[in-house]
Chain A
Amino acid sequence: MEITPDHLVLFRRGFVVLNATIVYTRVVMLVLVVVAWMATRARKSDPDAPRSGWEGALDGMVSLVRSQIQEISDREGVDEYLPFVGTLFLFIAVSNVMDIVPGWHAPTGSLSTTAALAICVAVGVPLFGIREAGLKAYLHHYLSPAFFMLPFHLASEISRTVALAVRLFGNIMSGSMIVALLLAIAPLFVPVIMQMLGLLIGLIQAYIFAVLAMVYIAATVHRQEERPQEQNQ
């Protein structure tokens, strides 16, 4: 039984190996880009064009993510985190929801993909923090409240990155594995229910991943703004 789509090699020539993870990641990217392009194509050529359904759906998605970001970061009119967090959410949600396509292996069911996404968050959070407060003030928080807290700060950053990666991987992988096991035991109807549960879990995990990324960013930025009160994490 396959635990990760990494081992599923679709194409091999010399040292070029295309496994299912890479291929399906590209497919998700292609779907996202094509849908976004199709939805906004009419608007680009003619600003007064009537609003299409696709555009409305994308617009709703963007304003949903924006409202969530504003609620978490507690500030009005912040759009700087929207591309990062929104992309994380859309990528994970689409790759999980496309599980309904027969033969689909969700790229988020591979630890390589989720580790890459978590590393993006681990790199992005300090960058946002540095941009908000400057390098010196950002590095200072590693030494606060006292210098011996440095290893604990580092440990917390590493462990939350690992947790982000393993949480998404474990949820998606266990979902597909349960369906595979049930197919062997009761192939007629039961897997459908588990697959529906898997879709729900996939969407919730996409939401949680994006919200956690935003919470980490907001915690870093908040800390720079109001150092005295260590509220909100």
Chain B
Amino acid sequence: MAALGYAGVRKDYGDVTALRDLELEVGEGELLALVGPSGSGKSTALRLAAGLEDVSAGSISIGGRDVTRLPPAKRNVSMVFESYALFPHLSAAENIGFGLRARGLPRRELSGRVLEAATLTGCERLLERKPHQLSGGERQRVALARALARRPDVFLLDEPLSNLDAQLRVDTRAELKRLHQRLGATMVYVTHDQVEALTLGDRVAVLHEGTLQQLDAPDAVYRRPVNRFVARFIGSPSMNLLATEAEGELLHAGPFDIPRPRGLRARRLEAGIRPEHVELAGDGAGTPARVEVVERAGSETLVYLVADGVELVARASPDVRLTVGATMHVGVAARNVYLFDAETGETLASLE
């Protein structure tokens, strides 16, 4: 029994289809990351589950119960908004207890539940404060505590970390993961940030233009993307994408020559190579490439090169000495090359 299920869900806004034929099941206690660029339909999917929007077709179930026609109040889900949606005139405690009070929980139970939820997110010392007296990270904790206090069947999180600064985002991400593991709660986590999706999600669902592209474990989404979109969207910097030309038993992809797989001869192909798979050498084998830009980021170095008139990005160890304008030699192992159908974008083979 799925904690949250989408069956053939479609959402149209006038002539625009925001979501088409979504089939998706979130397991009990699972944290599913819903990731995609803006306009991909990820927030729509979340709002449909919450009941804030009505489906155009299909059905939604929570805990095996069809909730498609139920109002938000009857679905027993909690939501954390990107803007936190804290009531500015209420204290943190009143914000956390808002839903409980609205549902008529007796006062003596109320304060206990509020404190319990606040302690889980580490905001128990902020309870008397108003939202304007809290920092962004503290507000985020209060919003999360409010979602927890209700003990819902499903947590819906809409980009909850995107208003935090980088360091805090990483810390809070880890905290959220711990919290999820501890509570074993079912969560749907919407984000446009693929790193967040990969690090947080038990599984990752990639959406693009209203269509579910791939639903898989984070590792699988990264290693075995089903199409060019997923391959390019997951991973930073994006996978290098090269047009190919067949010649005998070989495929020319920019500066690289790779063996031409059998059975794919009829189609026009594109080759994808992740930056970490571009091999750099000072001399010897490989095609010469000119170093254009070097970005040192401490634990790794990103190198932008031009080889045979094609731009490439490579991830190198920080120990490699590089100077702009120098010539390096680039190569790739055939097993690290992805091949896509140039028309449909579908992944045809990873030579792995």
A and B part of one assembly: no
Interface residues of B (CB under 8 A from A): none
